[in-house]
């Protein structure tokens, strides 16, 4: 088997090997140039690639092709067309042209556009992204594309991501040239997303409306055992889970997705998968595919993969760690501290650019991780707090301290940088300090953004991060550009010093879960944007609109449309949850409470008649407890319904979202608490759905 893996790996992608074997040499070269340098692709090349792709796809069993895109829903979308073209009476040929490869025209009127696309212009366009490989899945050739409107506005997550990668590359190259590194022509962002998920039994899943409609349980009495023993983390894989993970790996490998690490996570039934990092847009495509295939393979194994951020109350939810770095076309990781001091100047500049970026745009970073689901995690002492800060570790912090406190000029300055650099290799080796409470941590040669929710597209945080860092670099460039080459080191030093003074407030190496940090962060003037409706309005502030428009990531209209969509998504999600809770309590739970109370009352009455002298009143107490709960829940459901109506009728999107957070979710939580208490009194056999015990410990 193992021998076959290199063979199997990437067998379903139109990768370099296939390209080379199928394309004429000059066409192959032209395509490679586009992939590597992002240059424009001529139609004759596209035609040639289309022919080769179709040939390869048909050989591998494909009958259809689809432009695969990532609309603002956060999911992926596809519309399949077959390759067939009529060729005389009753005959067809398999056909696919360069035009069809390069551009698609899905009717896009049903995708969220936040008002960008007027209904009279329902057309949307998909444009091939040649830098992310096409692949075959379910007998269809998938062509990764960007999705935009007739007038060119981005309607997806891919377009702004590609734009942000361009912006960052441009600014990074300029700075590197200033620092004497003339050979660099391109800087790419690399991403390695670690993906957490839960697995539950399919039959059990089907019995819970909340899992089906919301992807999470809306209430449930805790199992006697949760995650307190911490025995699940890195624990031995159960055979069922192991078989699943194996199948999943194979499916991912076929698509050239380098799934690398898999293990059990902290919560029972929770697991993680991490791939080897890749260029940002490829990694984003791969993560979308990974989530989809995780679900699909689970089906085959009679399980359901839950990607929700908080499927169960009382135990950890799932996140996604966005490992992020920068690599030059010469293969240098710009966030690698390296060994020789001279070469560390770029490192320090880029490190500082990231620190500045995250400090200046902490609100956007927070937004990029916001969703109704993730609101249940952030600040819940299982995920980073909602306050964005950076963990550097003691040694790197000491390096920055040394630069900051150096008041001398000239030679000593270089010495100070030397000191910094000397510490670094040591730092790299000893970088075992894993501050799990930090939202944004330096981890040796990359940053790890840990706020993301498990179901989120990794596009969003990287659009923000890339753009914010591009802006920081642009500002650095302006400050350095007039320095003479021989003065550059000093100029850089002065710049770093100033930047550290200004941005050190964002650096925090302590415990992010502590109350003191919340206080301290407030003193430092950092944002503490607790919920999605709290943070979203920051998206449209002048400062942030300016950032995105300056670097041509979003137009003003695109920003406002996205803001609308995000608010609406949030409200829709909460409303669906509220309605599901209503239905589940009314149709599943209350009848169970009633049945058990009735049964208990009947038993109590007959026992009392039979053995009056032994009556203790405990059945009565139980019946009265259940009846009270029944009454309180019924009353609560009425209030819930009223709140649902009030929210649904609220026209202003921000107003509605705020109502969700401050009233609807609060009511839902109160109901859940009541239900949990009552559920603990009721035998499982009375409940028409499985409990936490069964869901979490049955695999
Ligand atoms: P952990 O965070 O558990 O220590 P690793 O550090 O080994 O795990 O890697 C976590 C993820 O970071 C992996 O997906 C890995 O490929 C990714 N990663 C490693 N180096 C880089 C890099 N230079 N850029 C982006 N991601 C990276
Ligand atoms: Mg990690």
Q: Nearest Cα to 671, choosing from 542, 567, 579?
A: 579
What's the 448 CA to ligand 2 centre distance in angstroms? Answer: 7
**CB of 68 closer than 6 A to ligand 1?**
no
On the CB side of 659, CA atoms within 13 Å amount to: 22
Q: Nearest Cα to 175, choosing from 419, 469, 443, 415?
A: 469
What pLDDT was estimated at residue 423?
Answer: 38
**CB of 274 closer than 6 A to ligand 1?**
yes
What pLDDT was estimated at residue 121?
Answer: 58
DSSP 77: B
**CB of 490 closer than 6 A to ligand 1?**
no
The C-alpha atoms of residue 585 and residue 593 are separated, in whole angstroms, by 10
**CB of 277 closer than 6 A to ligand 1?**
yes
**CB of 285 closer than 6 A to ligand 1?**
no
Strands (E), 155-258: 187-201
Q: What are the CA-CA distances from residue 577 to residues 213, 309, 489, 640 (Å)?
A: 8, 14, 57, 11
Which residues lie below 8 Å from residue 612, measured CB to CB, with a gap of 6+? none
Please write the tens of the pLDDT for every residue from 559-574: 999 999 999 999 999 9
The C-alpha atoms of residue 165 and residue 183 are separated, in whole angstroms, by 19
**CB of 446 closer than 6 A to ligand 1?**
yes
Residue with tokens 């739970």: 589
Indicate which ligand has the atom closest to the C-alpha of 260.
1
Sort strands 64-68 and 140-149 into parallel, antiparallel or unpaired: parallel
List the beta bridge partners of residue 107: 123
**CB of 194 closer than 6 A to ligand 1?**
yes
**CB of 445 closer than 6 A to ligand 1?**
yes
State the burial class of residue 543 (Cβ atoms within 10 Å of its Cβ: 0-12, 13-18, 19+): exposed
- Coil, strand or helix: which one is 137? strand
On the CB side of 363, CA atoms within 13 Å amount to: 18
- Whether residue 556 has pLDDT greater than 60: yes
| Range picked from 96-100, 227-231, 433-437, 452-456 for highest mean pLDDT | 452-456
- Whether residue 539 has pLDDT greater than 90: yes
CATH value of 195-319 in 3.40.140.10, 3.40.50.2000, 1.10.10.10, 3.30.590.10? 3.30.590.10
Indicate which ligand has the atom closest to the C-alpha of 445.
1
**CB of 323 closer than 6 A to ligand 1?**
yes
The C-alpha atoms of residue 132 and residue 447 are separated, in whole angstroms, by 23
What pLDDT was estimated at residue 616?
Answer: 84
DSSP 154: B
**CB of 352 closer than 6 A to ligand 1?**
no
- Whether residue 507 has pLDDT greater than 90: yes
On the CB side of 342, CA atoms within 13 Å amount to: 2
What pLDDT was estimated at residue 560?
Answer: 95
Q: Which atom of ligand 1 is least distant from the CA of 274?
A: 14
CB atoms within 10 A of CB 260: 13
Q: Which atom of ligand 1 is least distant from the CA of 327?
A: 23
> Confidence band (pLDDT; 50, 70, 90) for 337?
confident
* Angle (CA) 563 467 285, round 5°: 75
- Whether residue 413 has pLDDT greater than 80: no
- Between residues 383 and 303, the one the model is more confident about: 303
CB-based contacts of 600-604 (< 8 A; 24+ apart in sequence): 600/626
The C-alpha atoms of residue 519 and residue 514 are separated, in whole angstroms, by 9
What's the 192 CA to ligand 1 centre distance in angstroms? Answer: 6
Q: What are the CA-CA distances from residue 521 to residues 507, 508, 517, 528, 589 (Å)?
A: 10, 9, 6, 8, 43
Please write the tens of the pLDDT for every residue from 414-440: 333 343 444 333 334 334 356 788 999
HEC string for 630-686: HHHHHHHHHHHHHHHHHHHHCCCHHHHHHHHHHHHHHHHHHHHHHHHHHHCCCCHHH
What pLDDT was estimated at residue 403?
Answer: 86
DSSP 134: -
- Asked if 356 contacts 503 with a C-beta cutoff of 8 angstroms, the reply is yes
What's the 337 CA to ligand 1 centre distance in angstroms? Answer: 16
Range in 125-129, 297-301, 538-542 the model is least confident about: 125-129
- Coil, strand or helix: which one is 324? strand
Domain positions in the chain are 2-156, 165-191+331-537, 195-319, 570-697
2-156: CATH architecture: Roll (3.10)
Residue of 168, 187, 192 best suited for mutating to test ligand 1, as the one with most atoms within 8 Å of CB: 192
Q: What are phi and psi of 437, to 5 degrees?
A: -90, -5
What pLDDT was estimated at residue 313?
Answer: 94
**CB of 325 closer than 6 A to ligand 1?**
yes
- Asked if 266 contacts 217 with a C-beta cutoff of 8 angstroms, the reply is no
> Confidence band (pLDDT; 50, 70, 90) for 122?
low
Range in 376-385, 458-467, 679-688 the model is least confident about: 376-385
pLDDT above 90 coverage of the chain, percent: 77
Indicate which ligand has the atom closest to the C-alpha of 274.
1
- Whether residue 75 has pLDDT greater than 80: yes
- Whether residue 397 has pLDDT greater than 90: no
**CB of 324 closer than 6 A to ligand 1?**
yes
Q: Which atom of ligand 1 is least distant from the CA of 324?
A: 25
List the beta bridge partners of residue 136: 141
Q: What are the CA-CA distances from residue 308 to residues 214, 452, 561, 635 (Å)?
A: 8, 12, 25, 29
Residue with tokens 């067939």: 84
The C-alpha atoms of residue 68 and residue 134 are separated, in whole angstroms, by 9
What's the 139 CA to ligand 1 centre distance in angstroms? Answer: 33
Please write the tens of the pLDDT for every residue from 254-273: 999 999 999 998 899 999 99
List the beta bridge partners of residue 135: 13, 142
Please write the tens of the pLDDT for every residue from 573-593: 999 999 999 999 999 999 999
Q: Which atom of ligand 1 is least distant from the CA of 191?
A: 25
What pLDDT was estimated at residue 3?
Answer: 59
Mean pLDDT of 44-62: 95
What's the 441 CA to ligand 2 centre distance in angstroms? Answer: 9
- Asked if 505 contacts 361 with a C-beta cutoff of 8 angstroms, the reply is no
**CB of 192 closer than 6 A to ligand 1?**
yes
- Whether residue 674 has pLDDT greater than 90: yes
Residue bearing the CA closest to ligand 1, atom 26: 192
> Confidence band (pLDDT; 50, 70, 90) for 314?
very high
Instruction: Look over the chain and give the mean of its residue pLDDT values, rounded to a whole number.
Output: 91
The C-alpha atoms of residue 282 and residue 286 are separated, in whole angstroms, by 6
The C-alpha atoms of residue 114 and residue 118 are separated, in whole angstroms, by 10
**CB of 462 closer than 6 A to ligand 1?**
no
Which residues lie below 8 Å from residue 633, measured CB to CB, with a gap of 6+? 585, 589, 590, 593, 671, 674, 675, 678
Please write the tens of the pLDDT for every residue from 141-196: 999 999 988 778 888 999 999 999 999 999 999 999 999 999 999 999 999 999 99
Q: Which atom of ligand 1 is least distant from the CA of 192?
A: 14
Q: Nearest Cα to 56, choosing from 20, 81, 32?
A: 20
- Whether residue 51 has pLDDT greater than 60: yes
CATH value of 570-697 in 3.40.50.920, 3.30.70.370, 3.50.50.60, 1.20.120.1560? 1.20.120.1560
For the record, the structure tokens of 229 come out as 């023993």
> Confidence band (pLDDT; 50, 70, 90) for 405?
confident
- Asked if 134 contacts 154 with a C-beta cutoff of 8 angstroms, the reply is no
Sort strands 440-442 and 390-391 into parallel, antiparallel or unpaired: parallel
């Amino acid at each position: 088997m193992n021998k076959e893996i290199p063979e199997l790996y990437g067998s379903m992608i139109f990768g370099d090997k296939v390209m080379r074997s199928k394309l004429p040499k000059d066409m192959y070269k032209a395509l490679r140039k586009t992939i590597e340098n992002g240059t424009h692709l001529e139609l004759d090349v596209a035609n040639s690639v289309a022919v080769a792709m179709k040939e390869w796809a048909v050989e591998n069993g494909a009958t259809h092709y689809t432009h695969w895109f990532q609309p603002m829903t956060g999911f992926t979308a596809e519309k399949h067309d077959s390759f067939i073209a009529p060729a005389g009476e009753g005959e067809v040929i398999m056909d696919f042209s360069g035009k069809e490869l390069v551009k698609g025209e899905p009717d896009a009127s049903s995708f969220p556009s936040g008002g960008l696309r007027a209904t009279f212009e329902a057309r949307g366009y998909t444009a091939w992204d040649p830098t992310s490989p096409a692949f075959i899945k379910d007998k269809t050739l998938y062509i990764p594309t960007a999705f935009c409107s007739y007038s060119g506005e981005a309607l997806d997550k891919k377009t702004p991501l590609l734009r942000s990668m361009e912006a960052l590359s441009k600014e990074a190259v300029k700075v590197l040239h200033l620092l004497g590194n003339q050979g660099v022509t391109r800087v790419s962002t690399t991403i390695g997303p670690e993906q957490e998920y839960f697995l539950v039994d399919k039959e059990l899943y089907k019995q819970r409306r909340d899992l089906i409609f919301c992807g999470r349980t809306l209430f449930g009495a805790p199992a006697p055992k949760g995650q307190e023993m911490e025995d699940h983390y890195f624990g031995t894989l159960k055979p069922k889970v192991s078989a699943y993970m194996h199948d999943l790996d194979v499916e991912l490998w076929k698509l050239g997705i380098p799934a690398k690490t898999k293990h059990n996570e902290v919560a029972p039934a929770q697991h993680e998968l991490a791939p080897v990092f890749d260029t940002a847009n490829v990694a984003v495509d791969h993560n979308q595919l990974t989530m989809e295939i995780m679900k699909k393979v689970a089906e085959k194994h009679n399980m359901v993969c839950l990607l929700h951020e908080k499927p169960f109350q009382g135990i950890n939810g799932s996140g996604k760690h966005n490992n992020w770095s920068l690599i030059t076309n010469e293969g240098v990781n710009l966030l690698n501290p390296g060994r020789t001091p001279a070469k560390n100047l770029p490192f320090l500049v880029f490190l500082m650019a990231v620190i500045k970026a995250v400090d200046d745009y902490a609100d956007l970073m927070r937004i990029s991780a916001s969703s109704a689901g993730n609101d249940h995690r952030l600040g819940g002492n299982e995920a980073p707090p909602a306050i964005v800060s950076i963990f550097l570790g003691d040694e790197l912090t000491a390096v920055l301290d040394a630069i900051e406190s150096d008041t001398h000029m000239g030679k000593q300055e270089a010495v100070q940088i030397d000191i910094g650099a000397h510490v670094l290799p040591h730092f790299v080796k000893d970088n075992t300090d894993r501050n799990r409470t930090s939202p944004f941590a330096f981890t040796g040669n990359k940053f790890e953004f840990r706020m993301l929710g498990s179901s989120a597209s990794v596009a969003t945080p990287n659009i923000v991060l890339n753009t914010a860092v591009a802006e920081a670099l642009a500002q650095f460039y302006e400050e350095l550009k007039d320095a003479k080459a021989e003065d550059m080191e000093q100029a850089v030093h002065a710049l770093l010093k100033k930047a550290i003074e200004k941005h050190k407030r964002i650096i925090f190496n302590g415990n992010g879960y502590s109350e003191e940090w919340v206080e301290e962060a407030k003193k430092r003037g950092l944002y503490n944007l607790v919920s999605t409706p709290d943070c979203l309005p920051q998206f449209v502030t002048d400062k942030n609109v300016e950032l995105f428009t300056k670097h041509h990531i979003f137009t003003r209209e695109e920003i406002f449309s996205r803001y609308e969509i995000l608010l609406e998504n949030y409200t829709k999600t909460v409303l669906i949850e509220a309605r599901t809770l209503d239905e589940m309590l009314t149709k599943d739970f209350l009848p169970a409470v009633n049945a058990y109370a009735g049964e208990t009352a009947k038993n109590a009455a007959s026992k009392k008649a039979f053995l009056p002298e032994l009556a203790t009143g405990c059945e009565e107490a139980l019946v009265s407890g259940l009846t009270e709960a029944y009454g309180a829940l019924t009353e609560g459901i009425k209030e819930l319904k009223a709140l649902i109506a009030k929210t649904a009728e609220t026209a202003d999107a921000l107003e509605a979202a705020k109502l969700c957070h401050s009233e609807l979710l609060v009511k839902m939580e109160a109901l859940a608490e009541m239900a949990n208490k009552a559920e603990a009194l009721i035998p499982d056999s009375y409940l028409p759905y499985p409990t936490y015990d069964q869901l979490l410990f049955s695999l």
